[in-house]
Amino acid sequence: MATWQFDLHLLPEAEVGDRSQLSAREFDSGGWWWRHQPPEDYAAQLDRVLPETRSWLDELRVWGSEDRDRIDVLLKGDRVIDVFVRIDARAQPSEYAAALANLAAAWSCVIRVAESGKVLPANAHAIQEALALSSAYRFVQDPEAFLRSLVQ
């Protein structure tokens, strides 16, 4: 992960329920996708958001690029077990945020912010607000001040 990337996970809303926060421990307990799967044509839907790229791992499908916007789908057999999203905070992410929100809504998902554990609705505005509060955004706005803050 590059410092300018903002990390998210799509999770089935039915599994998350009304929680507004998921700690790292809760999230890492896993099993979020066992009872609910994205639509069968999920790959075609992701192709409309970002181009698929070659993955170094057979169980991982990747859309986008390593240092920019990216979506990873981790598989166990033919079942999705994780949907991981990265937003490049250096870019103007409004179109990408809208595409992610639309995808999450179509898949009946909520969005978990990796950095804070906050659970967001499938809403582009919510994604952009969370991005504006992230360390990735602070880094992009003023890299020198951000790096200085790490050693204080």
**Which pLDDT score, from 0 to 100, does residue 7 have?**
97
- Amino acid letter, residue 32: W
**Which pLDDT score, from 0 to 100, does residue 152 have?**
73
Rounded Cα gap, residues 98 and 2, in angstroms: 22
* Each residue's pLDDT expressed in tens, for the chain with a length of 152 residues: 689 999 999 999 999 999 999 999 999 998 999 999 999 999 999 999 999 999 999 999 999 999 999 999 999 999 999 999 999 999 977 899 999 999 999 999 999 999 999 999 999 999 999 999 999 999 999 888 888 888 87
| Of 134, 63, 132, 141, the residue nearest 94 (C-alpha) | 132
Taking phi over 0 as left and psi of -120 to 50 as alpha, with beta for the rest, 96 belongs to alpha
Chain-wide mean pLDDT for the chain? 94
Q: In sequence order, which residues have a C-beta less than 8 Å from that of residue 66 and are 6 or more positions away? A: none
CB atoms under 10 Å from CB of 57, counted, come to 10
Tokens of 24: 């790292």
pTM (2 decimals)?
0.93
**Which pLDDT score, from 0 to 100, does residue 145 have?**
84
**Which pLDDT score, from 0 to 100, does residue 43 have?**
97
Rg (CA), the chain: 15
Q: In sequence order, which residues have a C-beta less than 8 Å from that of residue 18 and are 6 or more positions away? A: none
**Which pLDDT score, from 0 to 100, does residue 111 have?**
98
Where in the chain are the domains? Answer: 5-151
